[in-house]
Amino acid sequence: MNKALVLYGNGTDYTVSLDGKECVAHLKGTLLHTTKRSHHPVCPGDYVRIEQEGSELVMAEILPRMNRISRPANYGMRKEQVIASNIDHLLLVSSVFSPRMNTGFLDRILAYSNMQRIETEIVVNKTDYGISDEEQYYIEGYRQIGYEVIETSVEKSINIDKISCLTSGSVSALIGNSGVGKSSILNAIDPAFRRKVNETSSYSLKGKHTTKQARLYPLSNGGFVLDTPGIREFGMWNMDFEELKNFFPEIYKLSSQCRYHNCLHTNEPGCAVIAAADEGKIPEFRYENYLKIFQTLYDNRHLYFKKDK
Ligand SMILES: Nc1nc2c(ncn2[C@@H]2O[C@H](COP(=O)(O)OP(=O)(O)OP(=O)(O)O)[C@@H](O)[C@H]2O)c(=O)[nH]1
Ligand SMILES: [Mg+2]
Ligand SMILES: [Zn+2]
């Protein structure tokens, strides 16, 4: 079988990596109709079966996805937009300045990637600006829970080698708000790709390069890294409000100590999570974000489709 990895594309034409070479393959019409709920039927990271049709290569089948990063398409919560699939490492990028760390946003993605069982590291970039007490508190909070937090500076080449190591031989995705430095990190880990990254970027009115399209780049270290356009908000596709608690590791660990086995840790008597948050045993900002995300998922419970795997 001719198996190829989708790097980028739109509509019906996609650039794929086939036997180490990049080539263009078309999406077979029949595949377009199989996924009515999906905005993009094929995404970077998908493995596809390639067939030769005349002089053209066509994608005849999308192989089962190990995991996926999706969000509700902008124009309606009921359609899924798959940003990427088959991700080994998610590098969740934030920065300490312009923009500053937004833990509400980070915690949405962390819960989602936990649900998808994607190993996730938090990158705190632009540390050359200095880390404020507030950011330090967040960083320590995440480390206390068990997340790996990598403090980087592209400007001063700090910990870029760590990112290179992580991305070697696997498929990683850089995700985060616009302007945190995702494309800059990609450039820094593999200077050979500097030109390519800039080619796909376009100048915005502010005079900055902004990534417009998710694209998987092959690296010289044998890995692939997905650069994504900055996202402002992250809706959580396919997550029920009742299961959110399972995807906050520190909350999940405490749940067996709650009085009620089905405790949702919002206002129940005898809740071990509320007690731990009050006593400062789990980071307060995380618990506050849990409550906020819980409320959003609860309010939107009729909008999102239930699990449709
Ligand atoms: N001081 C400093 N500036 C940085 C660092 N990393 C990136 N920048 C700057 O931050 C700006 C945004 O960087 P990008 O790499 O385009 O950010 P991005 O996350 O790819 O943004 P989008 O493509 O819009 O999502 C650029 O002007 C970079 O030069 C850093 O470590 N330190
Ligand atoms: Mg970018
Ligand atoms: Zn509880």
198 CA from centroid of ligand 1 (Å): 12
Predicted confidence band at 78 (pLDDT cuts at 50, 70, 90)?
A: low
Omega of the bond prior to 249 within 30 degrees of 0, cis?
A: no
Which residue CA neighbors atom 30 of ligand 1 most closely?
Answer: 126
Closest ligand 1 atom to residue 154 Cα is 31
Same domain flag for 99 and 221? yes
Which residue CA neighbors atom 21 of ligand 1 most closely?
Answer: 179
Domain that holds residue 284: 241-299
Q: Quick one: pLDDT at residue 197?
A: 54
Could you report the per-residue pLDDT of 171-192, keeping only the tens digit for each? 999 999 999 999 999 999 987 7
Q: What is the DSSP string of 231-278?
A: -S----TT--GGGGGGGSHHHHHHGGGSSSTT--SSS-TT-HHHHHHH
Could you report the per-residue pLDDT of 93-129, keeping only the tens digit for each? 999 999 999 999 999 999 999 999 999 999 999 999 9
Same domain flag for 42 and 133? no
Q: Quick one: pLDDT at residue 133?
A: 98
User: Closest by alpha carbon to 121, among 98, 88, 96, 84?
Assistant: 88
User: Closest by alpha carbon to 290, among 257, 267, 265, 263?
Assistant: 265
Same domain flag for 111 and 144? yes
Which residue shows structure tokens 């820094």?
188
Same domain flag for 107 and 185? yes
Q: First and final CA of the chain: distance in angstroms? A: 25
Could you report the per-residue pLDDT of 125-167, keeping only the tens digit for each? 999 999 999 999 999 999 999 999 999 999 999 999 999 999 9
Same domain flag for 38 and 162? no
Mutate to test the pocket of ligand 1, among 184, 185, 202, 217 (most ligand atoms within 8 A of CB): 184
Predicted confidence band at 200 (pLDDT cuts at 50, 70, 90)?
A: very low
pLDDT at 35 over 60: no
Q: What is the mean pLDDT of residues 203-210?
A: 57
State how many domains the chain has: 3
Residues whose CB is less than 8 angstroms from the CB of residue 16 and which lie 6 or more positions away in sequence, other chains included: 4, 5, 6, 7, 22, 23, 24, 25, 48, 50, 57, 59
Q: Is 183 in the pocket of ligand 1 (CB under 6 A)?
A: yes
Mutate to test the pocket of ligand 1, among 97, 154, 198, 213 (most ligand atoms within 8 A of CB): 154
Single out the residue in 192, 227, 262 at which a domain terminates.
227
The most confident of 81-85, 207-211, 239-243, by mean pLDDT: 239-243
Q: Quick one: pLDDT at residue 232?
A: 79
Same domain flag for 99 and 210? yes
Same domain flag for 130 and 217? yes
What phi-psi label fits residue 62: left (phi over 0), alpha (psi between -120 and 50 degrees) or beta?
Answer: beta
Amino acid of residue 128: D
Predicted confidence band at 194 (pLDDT cuts at 50, 70, 90)?
A: low
Q: How does strand 3-10 pair with strand 13-18? A: antiparallel
Single out the residue in 29, 64, 99 at which a domain terminates.
64
Same domain flag for 106 and 182? yes
Could you report the per-residue pLDDT of 6-31, keeping only the tens digit for each? 999 988 899 999 998 999 999 887 67
Where residue 163 sits, what CATH number does that domain have?
Answer: 3.40.50.300
Same domain flag for 103 and 195? yes
Closest ligand 1 atom to residue 129 Cα is 1
Same domain flag for 37 and 108? no
Q: Quick one: pLDDT at residue 11?
A: 80
239 CA from centroid of ligand 3 (Å): 19
Q: Is 26 in the pocket of ligand 1 (CB under 6 A)?
A: no
Tell me how far apart the alpha carbons of residues 66 and 116 are, in angstroms, rounded to a whole number.
9
Where residue 24 sits, what CATH number does that domain have?
Answer: 2.40.50.140
pTM summary value:
0.92
Residues whose CB is less than 8 angstroms from the CB of residue 2 and which lie 6 or more positions away in sequence, other chains included: 18, 49, 50, 51
Closest ligand 1 atom to residue 227 Cα is 20
Where residue 247 sits, what CATH number does that domain have?
Answer: 1.10.40.50
From residue 128, alpha-carbon distances to 99, 108, 157, 272 in Å are 14, 26, 10, 39
Predicted confidence band at 258 (pLDDT cuts at 50, 70, 90)?
A: very high
User: Closest by alpha carbon to 3, among 57, 83, 67?
Assistant: 57
pLDDT at 203 over 70: no
- Helix, strand, or coil here: 186? helix
Q: Quick one: pLDDT at residue 205?
A: 46
Q: Which residues surround ligand 2, an ion (CB under 5 A)?
A: 182-183, 211
Predicted confidence band at 77 (pLDDT cuts at 50, 70, 90)?
A: low
User: Closest by alpha carbon to 67, among 48, 49, 88, 91?
Assistant: 88
Mean pLDDT, the chain, rounded, equals: 88
**Of 262 and 203, the one with more pLDDT:** 262
260 CA from centroid of ligand 3 (Å): 7
179 CA from centroid of ligand 1 (Å): 5
Amino acid of residue 206: K
User: Closest by alpha carbon to 174, among 133, 225, 220, 209?
Assistant: 225
Q: Quick one: pLDDT at residue 145?
A: 96
In Å, the largest CA–CA distance within the chain is 69
Q: Would you give the distance in Å from CA 160 to the centre of its chain? A: 19
